[in-house]
Amino acid sequence: MDGSLLAATRTTCPYCGVGCGVLAGADGSVRGDPAHPANQGRLCSKGAALGETTGLEGRLLHPMVDGKRASWDAALDAAAEGFRRALAQHGPEGVALYVSGQLLTEDYYAANKLAKGFLGTGNIDSNSRLCMASAVAGHRRAFGEDLVPGVYADLEQADLVILVGSNLAWCHPVLHQRILAARAIRPQMRLVVVDPRRTASCEAADLHLALRPGSDVALFAGLLAHLGRAGFALPEGLGQVLDVPALTGLAPAQLATFHHWFTTTERVVTLWSQGTNQSSSGTDKANAIINCHLVTGRIGRPGMGPFSVTGQPNAMGGREVGALANMLAGHLDAERPEEVAALRDFWQAPNLALKPGLKAVDLFRAAEEGRIGAMWVMATNPAVSLPDSAQVRRALARIPTLILSDCHAGSDTAQHAQILLPALGWGEKDGTVTNSERVISRQRGFLPAPGEARADWWIIAQVARRLGWGAHFAWPNAAAIFREHAAVTELARPAPRVFDLGGLADLSDAGYDALPPTQWPVPRQGPRGGRITPPVQRLVVTPFRRPAHQGGMILLTGRLRDQWHTMTRTGRVPRLMQHAHEPVLTVNPADAADLAEGGLVRVASAWGEAVLRLALDAATPRGACFAPMHWTDQLSPCGRINAAVTPATDPVSGQPELKHTPVTLTPFAATWHGVLLARRPLGAALADWCALAPAAEGVFRHEMAGQDAIPFARLAEALGEGPPTIALHAEATGEHRAAWLRDGHLIAVLFLGPNHVLPPREWLISLFAEARIGSAARHALLAGMLPDGPPPSPTLCACHGVSATTIRAAIEAGAGDVAAIGAATCAGTGCGSCKPELAALLALAPA
């Protein structure tokens, strides 16, 4: 072991539900923990960049009340007073908590106890409603409990892995790499991807089923009927007769291959994610998948099973503590009076909520109608991430007491909150998270608490104390909360329940601090962890239904490789912003007759609109377009796609249909386009359309476009640098160029023109690194073109900063496959998530 490894803290990545172990050095270095079972040392681009996100810039460091800094006492008093007023006016139904899978289990447990046990309201819902609710409902219908039977090793031991509505290569990169590594050893292993788009996950697939959006139930009901014909026993009423080719748009030959592979392969894992869950038939999609595993008995054994992967680092922990409006705690069942009574006694909570609360979309509707007097939002950004965001923003504005606990000061949701409470972030907080395969891992702090930030559970306990319930929230540390949570899982359970942490209920503080990754169940006696064969296995009839809204062009939404959600962390790392520095809508070239590639396009629906850069890409199917979910008012106000997304929900799970909105596309008629590069961020409100991104260390890029006169005065004021050092205004062509220098050092450059074709940004950005801008560069700036040589190319490998040009050069020099490119340039040897793009460059190269 080298010195830095000795000094490193063992912790867990705070991004996706793979739950990779991380070794964080005191020097800010971060690497994969070779001893963690999830990643065995690997990290993806986001995990590897964690060290660059722990800076304090943009952090919320002190409590704020009504826009002014306040003491903790004053802020906590104000929060408690808001709840007291709302309870007096509306009763328990008029208060709410809206929480998140980015809380630690201990925080989550405390929030749920406060809401259901003491505020006496079922109104605690989580952003997991947007994420896992359909999988949870599917599991509960099939297994009577929210159980993920499989383990990650199943993905390596399977002979057939089917990804349904999952872009694993970008969203769970380490799991994807594990699958590819296993297949390199056992080439007979097959990979099928079910996704309307040809995503990066398809690069390695043996079969890509580009089904019509929303038609997964038909695909799996068709598979089930085929399994019946192939001799597997189907109970009466389950074998639906559907015209699967017509409903899914898939060719009969492709369907036949899929049916044949599934029928004849014993070791099958069907892994699903948001293309399945975020649908008005999401729960039925989950059950249609599970049905196929149940009738073939492929569950609970090595290399097989239905596998819902979790999105957030602690989506699973939130489900364990029951922090959803229709769940209790510790997998207790709200519909069994004896279980409710057991929890009431254990918590000594006579007010325990007996009614389920409002699910997220309904909760924000109630708020808009003035029925919610106080809401506490923790670790989520609903102003951006919920659909129909104009409605959500009206709701947020209407809530008399809106409290937000967050690490960052400037989120879109923070703009509406009266009370801001600074929370500890990753590297500072301490507790546990549970990943997709039920492994509980510790997040450990290795940085000092910044400013006055405190742990979320502490903040919750303080508000509870002010409401008179201090004795029930008097935990000395996170370990005490974890023990209490573990004890809840041992409460009276007349029905068998798999989730059991009884074996951890007596963990000492030292044992908790040292807790290694531990897979549940962890009963006091009997076998622990491992694969689960669900004791209850029910088939569910899943009639095919079309998505809630039909017609026209269908907007799909989802994620990009290097961004995390609303970009509060990844949006400040230049190397993560290089993969996509502005919001882009992808459309099939055949659907873009009147739209210009690289121009701006208006995406309008019945709910609202957004404006994004247009990219043409045959990987997007005809009749659909794709937009990333990530952009916010802070980075691109017009690029917020949820302004246009439907709030339709699944009738069972209440999960919104974030992946199926009918839209129309029209050109955004800009009269001018521009780019402004500056030494500091100038905000994203510089022009009618604007996108801000960090471009390099200390360089910020502002892409702009407008429909009226160029707002020269507004730009000059935002920049605050006085007249430019060099400037050219060509009124005839509508081109304007300006540069600001200080002691020969570039401070800012501005290029404006009548169309979106402006000089290569990489070249302009590179000038900021020069100690002195020489006369050749000055002339080039004025001419708006490079002094010599071809324009620099985009970075493909974010881990090692390798550009497309370097990779093309390696291919020309003879690198014939991805591994050879890696050996020559290092590209693809970090997290590996750029490998699909390397393969694409190889495919383009002349043989």
Ligand X SMILES: Nc1nc2c(c(=O)[nH]1)N[C@H]1C(S)=C(S)[C@@H](COP(=O)(O)OP(=O)(O)OC[C@H]3O[C@@H](n4cnc5c(=O)[nH]c(N)nc54)[C@H](O)[C@@H]3O)O[C@H]1N2
Binding site for ligand X (CB under 6 A): 16, 100, 102, 127, 130-131, 164-167, 170-171, 194-197, 199, 213-214, 216, 273-275, 278-279, 311-312, 378-381, 384-385, 405-408, 411, 423, 425, 429, 456, 556-559, 561, 563-566, 568, 629, 641-642, 645, 658-659
CA–CA–CA angle 161, 262, 16 (5° rounding): 25
The region, left, alpha or beta by phi > 0 then psi within -120 to 50, assigned to residue 366 is: alpha
Beta partners for residue 611, in sequence order:
602
Region from 124-132, 650-658, 767-775, 828-836 binding Mo ion, contact rule CB under 5 A: 124-132
The region, left, alpha or beta by phi > 0 then psi within -120 to 50, assigned to residue 552 is: left
Size of the site for Mo ion (CB under 5 A): 2
Nearer to ligand SF4, 170 or 220 (CB): 170
Q: Is 805 helix (H, G, I), strand (E, B) or coil?
A: helix
Q: Is 557 helix (H, G, I), strand (E, B) or coil?
A: strand
The region, left, alpha or beta by phi > 0 then psi within -120 to 50, assigned to residue 119 is: alpha
Minimum distance between the CB of residue 317 and Mo ion, rounded to whole angstroms?
Answer: 14
Binds ligand SF4 by CB under 6 A, chosen from 43, 402, 403, 614: 43
CA-based nearest residue to 132, from 314, 266, 6, 254 = 314
Minimum distance between the CB of residue 378 and ligand X, rounded to whole angstroms?
Answer: 5
Positions in 158-187 near ligand SF4 (CB under 6 A): 172-174
CA 557 – CA 440 distance, rounded (Å): 30
Minimum distance between the CB of residue 666 and ligand X, rounded to whole angstroms?
Answer: 20
Nearer to ligand SF4, 269 or 799 (CB): 799
What H or E segment, with its residue span, contains residue 95?
strand 95-99
* 506, burial (CB in 10 Å: exposed 0-12, middle 13-18, buried 19+): exposed
Region from 16-24, 213-221, 243-251, 500-508 binding ligand SF4, contact rule CB under 6 A: 16-24
Nearer to ligand SF4, 174 or 645 (CB): 174
Describe the chain by its helix, strand, coil percentages, rounded to 5: 35, 20, 45
- Provide DSSP, 280-313: TTHHHHHHHHHHHHHHHT-SSSTT-EEEEPPSST
Binds ligand SF4 by CB under 6 A, chosen from 8, 10, 11, 16: 16
Which residues lie below 8 Å from residue 380, measured CB to CB, with a gap of 6+?
Answer: 98, 99, 100, 102, 126, 127, 413
Amino acid 342 reads: A
Cβ atoms of 169 and 176 within 8 Å: the answer is yes
Region from 127-135, 196-204, 422-430, 645-653 binding Mo ion, contact rule CB under 5 A: 127-135
Phi, psi torsion values for 354, nearest 5 degrees: -105, -20
Binds ligand SF4 by CB under 6 A, chosen from 8, 10, 11, 18: 18
CA 273 – CA 283 distance, rounded (Å): 12
Does position 316 bind Mo ion by CB under 5 A?
no
Minimum distance between the CB of residue 296 and ligand SF4, rounded to whole angstroms?
Answer: 30
Nearer to ligand X, 92 or 196 (CB): 196
Minimum distance between the CB of residue 180 and ligand X, rounded to whole angstroms?
Answer: 16
Cβ atoms of 10 and 20 within 8 Å: the answer is no
User: Of ligand SF4, ligand X, Mo ion, none, which one sits near residue 47, judging by CB under 5 to 8 A according to partner kind?
Assistant: ligand SF4
Minimum distance between the CB of residue 172 and ligand SF4, rounded to whole angstroms?
Answer: 6
Nearer to ligand SF4, 44 or 224 (CB): 44
Size of the site for ligand SF4 (CB under 6 A): 14
CA-based nearest residue to 318, from 332, 301, 330 = 330
User: Of ligand SF4, ligand X, Mo ion, none, which one sits near residue 20, judging by CB under 5 to 8 A according to partner kind?
Assistant: ligand SF4
CA-based nearest residue to 55, from 651, 572, 775, 795 = 572
Region from 113-121, 128-136, 223-231, 693-701 binding Mo ion, contact rule CB under 5 A: 128-136
Nearer to ligand X, 92 or 639 (CB): 639
Nearer to ligand X, 175 or 592 (CB): 175
Binds Mo ion by CB under 5 A, chosen from 249, 311, 759, 836: 311
Positions in 46-75 near ligand SF4 (CB under 6 A): 46-47
How close are the terminal C-alpha atoms of the chain, in Å? 45
Minimum distance between the CB of residue 272 and ligand SF4, rounded to whole angstroms?
Answer: 17
Minimum distance between the CB of residue 519 and Mo ion, rounded to whole angstroms?
Answer: 22
Binds Mo ion by CB under 5 A, chosen from 75, 131, 358, 459: 131
CA 585 – CA 614 distance, rounded (Å): 5
Binds ligand SF4 by CB under 6 A, chosen from 44, 610, 705, 827: 44
Nearer to ligand SF4, 168 or 739 (CB): 168
Nearer to ligand X, 577 or 749 (CB): 577
* 421, burial (CB in 10 Å: exposed 0-12, middle 13-18, buried 19+): buried
Nearer to ligand SF4, 45 or 381 (CB): 45
Token duo for residue 557: 């939404």
CA 92 – CA 754 distance, rounded (Å): 57
Binds ligand SF4 by CB under 6 A, chosen from 8, 20, 160, 299: 20
Does position 39 bind ligand SF4 by CB under 6 A?
yes
Nearer to ligand SF4, 583 or 830 (CB): 830
Minimum distance between the CB of residue 342 and ligand X, rounded to whole angstroms?
Answer: 30
Minimum distance between the CB of residue 653 and ligand X, rounded to whole angstroms?
Answer: 13
- Provide DSSP, 466-505: IIIIGGGG--SSHHHHHHHHHHHTTS--SS--S---GGGT
Nearer to Mo ion, 24 or 131 (CB): 131
Beta partners for residue 193, in sequence order:
163, 208
Amino acid 296 reads: T
Which residues lie below 8 Å from residue 41, measured CB to CB, with a gap of 6+?
Answer: 31, 32, 33, 34
Minimum distance between the CB of residue 643 and ligand X, rounded to whole angstroms?
Answer: 10
Minimum distance between the CB of residue 133 and ligand X, rounded to whole angstroms?
Answer: 10
Nearer to Mo ion, 630 or 835 (CB): 630
Binds ligand SF4 by CB under 6 A, chosen from 15, 98, 258, 473: 15
* CA 691 and chain centroid, separation: 20
Which residues contact ligand SF4 by CB under 6 A? 13, 15-16, 18-20, 39, 43-44, 46-47, 172-174
Which residues contact Mo ion by CB under 5 A? 131, 311
